[in-house]
Amino acid sequence: MSPTLVTHHAQVSRSIKIGPQLKLVGAEIGGLGVEHATSHQTAEAFLEALCELHADPAWQFTRTRTIALRGSHRLAMIVSAPRSSDTQATVTIRASIRRWRLLPYRAALPNPIELPFDF
């Protein structure tokens, strides 16, 4: 299966500031406060090959903070079977959508797309 893993490195930073603050008609007054910031590098998986060398291999795409799920992607797989056997394959495409607004929402394709073919 190719590709087996596609990752994207991202810089993640978080900061917290605690302290009193007063705003009056264009003037801002701040008192003593505490601020803490952290930052680190992380690798997020965008595409991952699953179940290699099994009867049910799959690729899983995941949207990351910096890469959206769009465009076309080339996937390749080598299947090994005895020459005298009848070999069949089915490609199934599934997708689910998650949105976080007021309430969590999740939807899936009503009927997964299946593409059967014989070798």
Q: How far apart are CA 76 and CA 108, in angstroms?
A: 25
Average pLDDT over the chain, rounded to whole? Answer: 82
φ/ψ (deg, to 5) at 65: -65, -30
Q: What band does 2 get if pLDDT is binned at 50, 70 and 90?
A: very high
Q: How far is CA 117 from the centre of its chain?
A: 29
Reported confidence tier of residue 3, pLDDT bands at 50, 70, 90? very high
Average pLDDT, integer, range 50-61? 90
- Nearest by Cα to 62 from 6, 106, 10: 6
Other CB atoms within 10 Å distance of the CB of residue 14: 9
How many CA atoms within 13 Å lie on the side-chain side of 49?
13
What is the value of pTM for the model shown?
A: 0.61
List the chain domain ranges: 5-118
